[in-house]
Amino acid sequence: MRLALLLLTLSLSVSPAAGQDAERPAGWKVRFDRPAPDSAVYFVSMEPGWHITTGPAGIFYDAERKAAGNYRLRSEISLFSSARLDGFGVFVGGQNLESESQAYVYFLIRKDGRFLIKRRNGTETEVITPWTENPAIVKHDGGEGTASNVLVLECGAEYIDFFVNDEKVASLPRAELAVEGIVGLRMNHGLDVHVIDLSIEATG
């Protein structure tokens, strides 16, 4: 209940236009899919977590947040009102994120209750699991409220399991995906979200 009230307060108080000059979280970087000015995104620390309002699509990361071996990545993200049907979520296995040879694997959801798994290598992207509907995902009705979902990747010795709200939505052989490296957030076009956490825990 307290979190719901906090998110309602945020939805009434956040003003991206007024906050374009606000400082980004210390240590974090943004890389857009295509060249864009820094002012194209609103990205600030806002307890608990961070608030992001995007123009163009891109990734958000702190290069010190890395994962290797067997681990569990968790992020809770709340979507505010959005007219667009664009995905948001997390990425793992980030390598060379400031160069043309950037690489990472990403796991997204969107407001119509679908999820996607893709990988990027340089300018090319490859769909691993296409947009797939799953009842575990909390949908957003397009109104003024919020829809909160918890995304988890459990990277074990043999498989990578993908969860939304404690329900497994996909499982892939670890040998097929490079998941060691920087972890962060992936946000597509025209989204208004609050990221409550992004945590890494060693497992097994």
- Domains annotated for the chain, with CATH where assigned, are 2-202 (2.60.120.560)
pLDDT in tens, 134-181: 999 999 988 888 999 999 999 999 999 999 999 999 999 999 999 999
pLDDT score at 109? 98
If you write DSSP's letter for every residue of 119-179 in order, what string do you get?
A: EEETTEEEEEEEEEE-TTSPP--SSSS-EEEEEEEEE-SSEEEEEETTEEEEEEEGGGS--
Residue-wise pLDDT for 35-83, tens only, equals 999 899 999 999 999 999 999 999 999 999 999 999 999 999 999 977 7
pLDDT given at position 8: 46
Residue with the two structure tokens 């010795």: 157
Model confidence at 19: pLDDT above 90:
no
CB 115, CB 137: distance < 8 Å: yes
Taking only the tens place, the pLDDT of each residue in 157-169 is 999 999 999 999 9
Q: In terms of pTM, does the model score above 0.75?
A: yes
Distance between first and last Cα of the chain: 33
